[in-house]
Amino acid sequence: MQGFPIARAGMTIGLLGGSFDPAHAGHVHLTRQALNRLRLDQVWWLVSPGNPLKLRGPAPMAQRVARAQAMMRHPRVQITDLEARLGTRYTAQTLVRLLPLYPGVRFVWLMGADNLASFHRWDRWESIARLLPMAVIARPGAGLSALRSPAARRFRTARLPSVAAARLARMPAPAWVYLNVPLMRISSTELRARGGWPSGSGSGTIPHPQPSGPSAPAR
């Protein structure tokens, strides 16, 4: 893992934020689908210091990064702890700090369908959708709730047909696609329940710096 990955202007890069607690075949599947369908040059995994909406703290960063590196071996995928380096855990704040470091790079936010279903609960979610294009990847049990979600409705007119996916990274935001990919029924929750992976730091033990800005949601 390198500190801040190198990228040239003009490159297209997918950002996959996640707890990766632990990383699994579903993350690998999503990443490979995104690389191919969106014609991305790279995907960067952003291993989160801790999802602000999850009370339970994750396993230590070093352990999650090591597992992610072991799971995802691909020359065009970088596993990063960029949010820890930037001192952010809210995605809007991460993007506001990260994007200016890479002028001319076309970033796309990647997420599974379950994340779109709850996207309207994220800090400054509408600003995120206006900052960079987004690709939503199908996940078992989440398709309907995603496509009927407040975020999908709010940005209804910015949705592109999936045949336009290869152009998404070069489109101005807001723009998003829903990718109907073969479904993979696996989750970190299920893997933790099976044992063999530490169960994190427990409810509420991770300090959560609050986001700044007028649209910080009530928690």
Ligand X SMILES: Nc1ncnc2c1ncn2[C@@H]1O[C@H](COP(=O)(O)OP(=O)(O)OP(=O)(O)O)[C@@H](O)[C@H]1O
Question: Does 184 participate in binding ligand X (rule CB under 6 A)?
Answer: yes
Helix or strand (DSSP H, E) at 111: strand 106-112
Identify whether the C-beta of residue 134 lies closer than 8 Å to the C-beta of residue 106.
no
* Residue 91 touches which of ligand X, ligand NCN, none (Cβ within 5-8 Å per kind): ligand NCN
46 binds, among ligand X, ligand NCN, none (CB under 5 to 8 A by kind): ligand NCN
* Alpha carbon distance 89, 82 (integer Å): 10
Q: Applying CB under 6 A, does 26 fall inside the site for ligand NCN?
A: no
Q: Are 33 and 137 in contact (CB under 8 A)?
A: yes
The answer to whether residue 91 forms part of the interface with ligand NCN (CB under 6 A) is yes
| Stretch of 34-42, 118-126, 169-177, 179-187 lying at the interface with ligand X (CB under 6 A) | 179-187
Q: Which is nearer to ligand X, 80 or 188 (by Cβ)? A: 188
DSSP state of 168: G
- CA distance linking residue 18 with residue 84, whole number of Å: 13
Q: Where are the alpha helices (DSSP H) in 41-181?
A: 61-71, 82-86, 91-98, 113-117, 125-131, 143-147, 150-154
State the sign of the Cα–Cα–Cα–Cα dihedral 112, 118, 124, 125. Answer: positive
95 alpha carbon, distance to own chain's centre: 11
For ligand NCN, which residue of 33, 115, 136, 175 counts as binding (CB under 6 A)? 115
The interface mask with ligand X, positions 3-42, x = CB under 6 A, is ---------------xxxx----xx--x------------
Nearest approach, Cβ of residue 128 and ligand NCN (Å): 8
Q: Which of 139, 158, 200, 211 binds ligand X (CB under 6 A)?
A: 139
Side-chain-side CA neighbours of 140 within 13 Å: the count stands at 8
Q: How far is CA 108 from the centre of its chain?
A: 9
* Residues of span 5-24 touching ligand NCN by CB under 6 A: 17-19
- We find the least distance from the C-beta atom of residue 111 to ligand NCN, in angstroms, to be 7
Binding positions for ligand NCN, 51-70, rule CB under 6 A: 51-54
Contacts of 36 (CB under 8 A, 6+ apart): none
How big is the site for ligand X, counted in residues (CB under 6 A)?
18
Q: Which residues bind ligand X (CB under 6 A)?
A: 18-21, 26-27, 30, 111-112, 114-115, 137, 139, 184, 186-189
Please report, as ranges, the residues that interact with ligand NCN according to CB under 6 A. 17-19, 46, 48, 51-54, 89-92, 115, 122-123
